[in-house]
Amino acid sequence: RKEVEQDPGPFNVPEGATVAFNCTYSNSASQSFFWYRQDCRKEPKLLMSVYSSGNEDGRFTAQLNRASQYISLLIRDSKLSDSATYLCVVRRNRDDKIIFGKGTRLHILP
Amino acid sequence: EAGVTQFPSHSVIEKGQTVTLRCDPISGHDNLYWYRRVMGKEIKFLLHFVKESKQDESGMPNNRFLAERTGGTYSTLKVQPAELEDSGVYFCASSQGSWREYQETQYFGPGTRLLVL
């Protein structure tokens, strides 16, 4: 079993719709959680960190459920520019490396 | 402020040859990381420098890979001799402050696309 698993893609979503991504992690000792965005043939860029209480940044909302070992990302009012691959990233503990999920591809359709 | 830069952007070599990738982190960032993405797979950690010291090299695939960061500034990753399975995108990332911070933000370079024929 992969340490970080994400919804398989691609997600094809009309512009303006709401889309949600899920991610599960296997190590219950994981401490830090992130969503990165990667455009085609570009480097990953941090979209947002995920805090225990959940957090929001504009149209983006991230949630963490430690009991279920589950992280989510919600994008509201999706834009064409949101088309990208979204990577779920987990850090097991402060002495450890970060682990990437395989990513979920999102296509926003005009 | 300049971001993380990597050189070359692309490299095509034959099996058995040597390739050296370079990464220049953001100025002042003590932490430097190397990652690799093989086609169809997730990005995987290779190693982590804190200044010039290797903090964690548990992700290095084998002894054909050698990373250095002399002087704690730029880093090189040498593959010698290259094999077909080494093909992929090699990313470098850097971060500021203590790597022990839970929510440390890593900034990635554009990557080097390596193709071994």
Query: Per-residue pLDDT tens for B53-111?
Result: 999 999 999 999 999 998 889 999 999 999 999 999 999 999 986 655 556 788 999 99
Q: Specify the DSSP class assigned to residue A42.
A: S
Q: What is the pLDDT of residue A35?
A: 95
By Cβ distance, the residue of A2, A46, A100 closest to B105 is A46
Cα–Cα distance list, A90 to A32, B16, B26, B38 (Å): 6, 35, 23, 19
Q: What is the pLDDT of residue B97?
A: 67
Whether residue A22 is predicted with pLDDT greater than 80 in this model: the reply is yes
CA–CA separation, A20 and A60 (whole Å): 10
Residues of B with Cβ-Cβ distance to A34 under 8 angstroms = 103
Answer whether A102 sits within 8 Å of B42, measured CB to CB: yes
Q: What residues contact B5, with CB distance under 8 A and at least 6 apart?
A: B23, B24, B109, B110
* Mean per-residue pLDDT, A47-59: 89
Cα-only R_g, chain A: 13
Interface of A with B (CB under 8 A): 2, 4, 31-32, 34, 42-46, 49, 87, 91, 94-103
* Mean per-residue pLDDT, B2-25: 96
